Structure 1
Amino acid sequence: MSKMSTEQESFALNGPTMGTRWSALFFARVGFDPTPVKTALQSAVDVVDAQMSTWKSNSDLMRLNAAPVGVWVKVPDHLRTVLHLGLEIGVASGGAFDIGMGDATTAWGFGPQSAASDRIRAAMTSARLPASEALEIDGHRLRKSAPITLDLNGIAKGYGVDCLADRLRAQGIMAGLVGIDGEMRALGLRPDGSPWSIAIEAPDDARRAPHSILALEDAAVATSGDYRHWVEVQGRRLSHTMDPARGAPLMAPPASVTVVAPNCATADAWATALMVLGPKTGAQLAKKHGLDALFLLRNDAGADTGIGVGRLFSEPPAAHASAKGK
């Protein structure tokens, strides 16, 4: 017996972006051609990468970085949106999230150049203004009021996930799961009415294993951790997350921080901010802003202990997080 036209099958698509890969999972009728959808999704992340990459010298972000102080620079829509959101969360986090840490990120070897001791010293000793004070936005124009090197690695992937979600909907697919390098956004529900299951990764650099499982509907999740991207200095492993107060990697960060929010750019930026703040101050600020956040900490035995904030990560944890995307 042939399958009915109302039956659905799953489609899993992926492609390269930002030095890693994007993914999309959705259901459509049997016989559906996913080729136009894949092309549209690849185009969406290509635009984000072209505007925000620090690895491409001709990106719009690098063009802005190269502009002299005081000169107005016109920027495209996506970049302006991310810069504006980054500045907002920078202020809301008390400067813990700062998009102006590009000099430190590059100096410590987390960009296209290797670490260099002279640039490290400069990043740690130079006076710096927070990005919210060093940047001025007027519509689609920006100018720097002080020397600053912008880096959007703490928010660009999350925004790319949001662009995947928007493009999926534009293709007429209203339910699905999209992601870039572990930053995920769920749209709607699965065909059987159940939420999308997403693993929170255990903070272990030796293997990939789930710490716990989230069930999400119309919500995004992002994790910042110390176990995937790091450098070793004098026998000590240092995370890629920068401390704006020092111009250097965090000295004693949580193993990871996971944040659930309506959109992935917001979740991505707040996960970075809470890593910088740590479990005590970070948990207090997460409560103040109504965030769902999970801090994973390593104890002396190497095991993980968790500190949860918000309805989703309360005790006992909620089984199903639902939030309206923006």
Structure 2
Amino acid sequence: MSKTSSDLVRHALHGPTMGTRWTALFFAPPERDPAPIREALQAAVEEVDAQMSSWKPDSDLMRLNAAAQGEWVAVPERLAEVLRLGLEIGKASEGAFDIGLGDAVTAWGFGPEDAAPDRIRAAMSAQRQPAFERLELDDGRARKRGPLVLDLNGIAKGYGVDRLAQTLAAQGIEAGLVGIDGEMRASGLRPDATPWTIAVESPDPLRRTPHSILALENASVATSGDYRHWIDLGARRLSHTMDLSRGAPLLSSPASVTVVARSCAEADAWATALMVLGPEGGRTLARKYQLSALFLMREEDGSVSSVGEGSLFSVSVPDPSSTLEARGADGV
């Protein structure tokens, strides 16, 4: 006999991961003990972090980074999956999303070390090729075919969210909302048959306020923005998003780009790619791959304008009080 919404208990679980917090919201019968579910969720994100962190010197990613060029290195299944997806989206975006900018990320102080002028000069003068031209994957192993320092910060959190959703499903929880630091994935519907709702943030570095509301069913959302992680260089503020052509942070970009896709790893990576390309080039790429994307831009008067692409976000985006509904998602 199926449970009605009044029979179910709401659970909001959370825990530490990747320097921030993971969350999971779901409903379960009263007799269901949430403790084993939380343990499984924590183990899932710890596995992702252990394999893909650039902050842990002993991670599988850092082991690959330390290997000599041309040397085949065994990589675990989940890392191989993320590397493969990263290379695919890198190639599809013509390098706008690139997982081979680890040296630049570290040089500019967005990794575990402070910014260093000598490393910045080296990163900006390096002869660069996109990672999809320098990393080879083959049956659980990888090798670098040229100078390459990998960084998965633009996709690993999204993949961690996907692992949270998969872990809930493995625990018999078919509907829920999971997230890591604002990257979210919704499965199924709430007990009252309504979608899960989340806010798209306004690009305000001083406070967290919603720009609009998304209602999601079986879809993921990720945002890349310039308002959470940055450095001040003289009078200019530079965000953490890197430009492959310069080995340095973007000089100009939208305030944020939000992408809705089937998986959170895809949404995470595509949001970065569209951020790099900006509203014009980003919308062209979004149309090519049938992505739903929302671009927020700062105007000279301090206001924020918006433009959308895809089936979810119309060309003229509603005001902040509007709710946009996504049942399923577009994407390649």
**Shorter-chain TM-score: what band?**
over 0.9
Q: Which residue of 2 aligns with 1:245?
A: 245
Question: How much does 1:166 deviate?
Answer: 0.2
Q: What's the offset of the Cα at 1:316?
A: 6.3
Q: How far does residue 236 in structure 1 lie from its aligned partner after superposition?
A: 1.4
User: Aligned in 2, Cα 1:222/1:324: closer, same or farther, shift over 3 Å?
Assistant: closer
Matched-pair contact (CA < 8 Å) for 2:307–2:317:
no
Query: 1:254 is aligned with what amino acid?
Result: P
Q: Secondary structure at the match of 1:301?
A: coil
Could you give the per-residue CA deviations for residues 216-266 of structure 1, whole angstroms, max 9, x where no partner exists? 000000000000000111131100000011100001110000000000000
Equivalent residue number for residue 288 of structure 2 = 288
Q: Say if 2:167 is the partner of 1:167.
A: yes
| CA contact 1:82–1:155 (8 Å) conserved in 2 | yes
Superposed CA RMSD: 1.7
AA matched with 2:265: A
Q: Determine helix, strand or coil for the equivalent of 2:55.
A: coil
Per the alignment, residue 227 of structure 2 pairs with 227
Contact 1:55 1:112 in 2 (8 A): yes
- The residue number in structure 1 matching 2:146 is 146
Q: How does 1:84-163 map to 2 (within 5 A)?
A: 84-163=84-163
* Counterpart mapping for 1:157-196 below 5 A: 157-196=157-196
**Partner Cα distance (1:208, 1:28) in 2:** 30
In 1: Cα distance, 2:327 partner to 2:255 partner: 26
Q: Distance in 1 between matches of 2:280 and 2:102?
A: 27
Residues 46-85 of structure 1: pairs in structure 2 closer than 5 A: 46-85=46-85
Matches within 5 A, 1:1-12: 7-12=7-12
Instruction: Confirm or deny: 8 A CA contact 1:292 1:311 kept in the other structure.
Output: yes
Is 1:33 paired with 2:33? yes
Separation in structure 1 between the aligned mates of residue 5 and residue 307 of structure 2, nearest angstrom: 48
Partner-residue secondary structure (3-state), 1:319: strand
Cα deviations across residues 10-56 of structure 1 (Å, max 9, x unaligned)?
Answer: 10000000000000000011242100000000000000000000000
Q: 1:13 to 1:127 in 2, by over 3 A?
A: same
**1:149-197 alpha-carbon deviations (Å, 9 max, x no partner):** 0000000000000000000000000000000000000000000000000
For residues 275 and 140 of structure 1, the distance between their equivalents in structure 2, rounded to whole angstroms, comes to: 31
Which residue is 1:320 aligned to? 325
Residue identity opposite 2:326 in structure 1: A
Q: Verify the 8 A CA contact 1:198 1:215 in the aligned structure 2.
A: yes
Q: Residue 297 of structure 2: SS of its match in structure 1?
A: strand
The letter for the 2-side match of 1:101 is L
Equivalents in 2 of 1:30, 1:53: separation in Å? 37
Given that 1:87 and 1:131 are in contact with CA atoms closer than 8 Å, whether structure 2 keeps it comes out as: yes
Secondary structure of residue in 1 paired with 2:257: strand
Amino acid corresponding to residue 328 of structure 2 in structure 1:
A
Q: What is the rounded CA distance, in whole Å, between the counterparts of 2:4 and 2:145 in structure 1?
A: 63
Per-residue Cα deviation, 1:291-317 (whole angstroms, up to 9, x for no partner): 000000000111110010011101466
- In the superposition, the TM-score normalised over structure 2's length comes to 0.95
Aligned length: 324
TM-score, length-scaled by structure 1: 0.97
How many Å apart are 1:5 and its aligned residue? Answer: 11
Q: Does the Cα contact within 8 Å between 1:238 and 1:250 map onto a contact in 2? A: yes
Question: Counterparts of 1:191 and 1:25 in 2: how far apart (Å)?
Answer: 12
Question: Which one-letter code corresponds to 2:81 in the other structure?
Answer: T
Equivalent-residue separation in structure 2 for 1:193 and 1:257 (angstroms) = 29
**DSSP 3-state at the match of 1:97:** coil
Q: 1: CA distance between counterparts of 2:73 and 2:129?
A: 20
**Runs of 5+ unmatched residues, structure 1:** none
Instruction: For structure 2, list consecutive stretches of 5 or more residues without a partner in the other structure.
Output: none
Structure 1 residue 322, shift from structure 2 partner = 1.4
Moved beyond 2 Å, runs of 4+ = 3-6, 315-319
